[in-house]
Structure 1
Amino acid sequence: MKKNPFKQTMIIVLCISLILTSVVLEVFAKEHQDSLGLYAKSAVLMDADSGRVLYGKEEEQFLANASTTKIMTCILAIESGRLDETVTVSQHAASMPKVHLGMTTKDTFLLKDLLYSLMLESHNDSAVAIAEHVGGSVEKFAEMMNEKAKELGCEHTHFITPNGLDAKDETGSHGTTAKDLATIMSYCIKNDTFLKITQTKQHSFQNVERSRNFTCNNHNAFLQMMDGALSGKTGFTADAGYCYVGALKRGERTFVVSLLACGWPNNKSYKWADTRKLMEYGLEHYEKVKVKAKQELETVPVINAADNSYDPDKEILMPVRVKGKDLRVLKDKEEKVTVKCTTKKVLQAPVKKGTVIGKAEYYIGEEKAVSYPIVAMENVSARTPRWYLQCVLEKFLF
């Protein structure tokens, strides 16, 4: 039987293609794998109290973050405005794409109601109306967003829009990192108004003119997934994929999870699976323990110190202590807590009680958890001509 050279060539090409595809997929899987098998391209489990990253996967990779942006929009509006203020609607706000409230330029709203629209239904037009009201314009509000992010210690965040729609400007594209997003959420959940809004199941309201009625329902499924769920915000755009940031509190422990690029359609449920996995990891591995603030430290010599003994040769030693309370820290059961204390080698009189002369750094494993000042425990006066005269009198007359 005569062999078909073309057919043989095609079979060889197909085999090579399959092998190369397998290799590429294997390399991709290795590059993106993590011990928990998360779907998200970037993820963080954070201790909300300390800001410590307890589990991270590509946590500092800059990515689009979609409507999770709205947690920043919400907290800025709460802090910068009054909830009973009236918000007018610009043509720009009314032109925002779905998901939207459907506002028109004839409407006015209470800021409070638009915040529910923003966080429960993720309405893009409400986000722009809020931004224009609080900042004067979307651009000015974006400046406020970025300033706040820097204030919170976010190093790789760039906000352009208040709603998280994909955008670019001369500086770059709209986005953040999983670590920065978790940091922002850790700050937001300390605000009672933010928690009240994001925990509300349903909110009904009217425009100020009372000519239209609206109802917003909470789409944060995490609130019903786990006991202690505090808050959260979903997001999706073509660039960002499915995103999520949420918080949970159990006893003294508060965890924040952030997920970026956690699948694209039809993988809407990936974010809930990853959130549960990370939260359960935190609950299983981390506990709050008491760490006693170190009190007994070496004394520090004081130069030129005067005391009532009127002995110029006497060495004065300053007792010092850590100015801090006993700590309650979140740590893995296997992690050790150590304290590194550094103080000045000598002090120059005069010295006031409470003067900071060093620091005590508390480490959980290799990571610094907190730093407390070390302070002087007594007042020490400096030597004066009168003090030296008294020394002479004590030595030769008494």
Structure 2
Amino acid sequence: MKKKRYIAGALVLVQMLLGLGMGNVWAKTAESEDEPKQLYAQSAVLMDADNGRILFGKEAEVIRPNASTTKILTCILALESEAGERVICVSRNAASQPKVRLGMKEGEKFYLRDLLYSLMLESHNDSAVAIAEAVEGTVEKFADRMNQKAREIGCENTHFITPNGLDASDKDGIHGTTAADLAAIMRYCITQSPEKERFLEITQTREYTFGDVEGKRKFFCRNHNAFLNMMDGALSGKTGFTNDAGYCYVGALREKNRTLIVTLLACGWPNHKSYKWSDTRKLMEYGLLAYAPYYIWKDPGKMNLLAENAVNEESPWKRTKKVKVAVREDSGFQMLLKEGEQVTVKKRIEENVKAPVTQGQAVGEMEYFLNGEKIASYQIEACESVKKRSFFWCLKCVMEWLCF
């Protein structure tokens, strides 16, 4: 704990120094740190990818069609299925998908790993269906898996019907999601999935060439995510467009020790293809200027609790024993905070417990709050084990005392 206090003190000093520097930036760009007020997108979200906190939202919970941004979930599910080396035989259903399409023919064979580049770089609709059928057998079963995965991620307002994001509807509603849910899916893809590095590798690839398994045809894919060339730290992204959805986008940026995600739904219709890039830059710059990373941790000080009916080796006649308790060594975290935001900490610890007590047993909690909402919590744990005082232990003590 002593070592940890030194580390915490050093971090506080660093924060003070950073705060002075950031204060100058704020002073020079006072207008830039204000929340964006004029966005083209009907729905938009700026998210801190490290913890999922929404830093800015515009109609963030409104369900809308989301076009080919759907394909980020298709891609990550395919990667997690470990089907990369699988050979796909193209079905009539896959080959008949509308533009934008690779142009595969029924009966042709491809490696699934190659079609992931077709999916994410060129947004080919036929590749999406071929991938879905290879992973789950049918588009319908793959859509079920997509919706199950979305729920696991925490998306409560997402309903996907197709793996490519084409406009569709069924008895449960339209194919669509919210800006908040789409950001959560992107967060999973780039920070939480066991295949996150492979996902980033694919979505960062600028050009890719491949052929069918038999080598009869060659295909060339170019990445259409212009954001990769717009800002330093641009990490990943996926565009989308349908008649119902309009232009959509989900993108991520990593700058030093912070990662931001932007999602845009209904961001204009033809001829306003560039609106999504304007909104993306505006939101990313707002996040970088208005929010700074801070290490959040509070030293709880020395803590003890009283164990009742406990074995006390030092004073056998006492029926209680003080037990040292502490928070885990990793009980700190980083988050982005805006100027004026403060994290409050509450310490909750039991006054006493009944023996036995085991080392590591939870006896309380350190809770961190921002704007009244709990953002993190860490257990306060016993640092030692304490046995329960029993008749036989007392008898043993008496016998030892008499023999002495």
Displacement of 1:367 after TM fit?
3.5
The corresponding residue for 1:25 is: none
SS at match of 1:319: strand
Whether 2:66 is the aligned partner of 1:68: answer no
SS at match of 1:186: helix
Contact 2:350 2:363 in 1 (8 A): yes
Change (3 A) 1:324 1:140: farther
Change (3 A) 1:324 1:239: farther
Displacement of 1:114 after TM fit?
0.4
SS at match of 1:56: strand
Contact 2:68 2:240 in 1 (8 A): yes
Residue deviations 1:113-165 (CA, integer Å, cap 9, x gap)? 10000001100000000000001111111111111111111121111110001
Structure number with greater Rg is: 1
Contact 1:287 1:331 in 2 (8 A): yes
Contact 1:182 1:256 in 2 (8 A): yes
Which residues in structure 2 correspond to 1:2-21 (within 5 Å)?
none
Gaps of 5+ in 2: 1-34
Give me the TM-score of the superposition, normalised by structure 1: 0.87
The corresponding residue for 1:136 is: 137
The corresponding residue for 1:104 is: 105
Give the whole-Å Cα distance in 1 for the aligned partners of 2:92 and 2:230: 39
SS at match of 1:341: strand
Change (3 A) 1:237 1:297: farther
Contact 1:231 1:247 in 2 (8 A): yes
Which residues in structure 2 correspond to 1:279-290 (within 5 Å)?
279-290=284-295
Contact 2:228 2:234 in 1 (8 A): yes
The corresponding residue for 2:350 is: 344
- 2:338 corresponds to which of 332, 337, 341: 332
Residue deviations 1:355-378 (CA, integer Å, cap 9, x gap)? 122322222343433222221111
Displacement of 1:310 after TM fit?
4.4
Whether 2:90 is the aligned partner of 1:81: answer no
Determine what percentage of the aligned residue pairs are the same residue. 56
The corresponding residue for 2:239 is: 234
The corresponding residue for 1:203 is: 208
The corresponding residue for 1:300 is: 305
Give the whole-Å Cα distance in 2 for the aligned partners of 1:92 and 1:299: 67
> Which sits farther off after the overlay, 273-282 or 289-298?
289-298
Change (3 A) 1:151 1:379: same
Which residues in structure 2 correspond to 1:377-392 (within 5 Å)?
377-390=383-396
> Which sits farther off after the overlay, 321-330 or 203-212?
321-330
- 1:243 corresponds to which of 240, 244, 248: 248
Residue deviations 1:277-334 (CA, integer Å, cap 9, x gap)? 1100110011112223534254222221111144554542322111242322222232
Change (3 A) 1:196 1:179: same
SS at match of 1:239: coil
Displacement of 1:40 after TM fit?
1.1
Gaps of 5+ in 1: 1-33
Residue deviations 1:182-203 (CA, integer Å, cap 9, x gap)? 1111111131111111111111
Contact 1:339 1:361 in 2 (8 A): yes
Contact 1:83 1:112 in 2 (8 A): yes
The corresponding residue for 1:16 is: none
Contact 1:310 1:391 in 2 (8 A): no
Contact 1:310 1:394 in 2 (8 A): no
Give the whole-Å Cα distance in 1 for the aligned partners of 2:179 and 2:378: 28
Give me the TM-score of the superposition, normalised by structure 2: 0.86
Give the whole-Å Cα distance in 1 for the aligned partners of 2:352 and 2:247: 57
Contact 1:247 1:255 in 2 (8 A): yes
Q: CA RMSD in A?
A: 1.9
Give the whole-Å Cα distance in 2 for the aligned partners of 1:278 and 1:201: 24
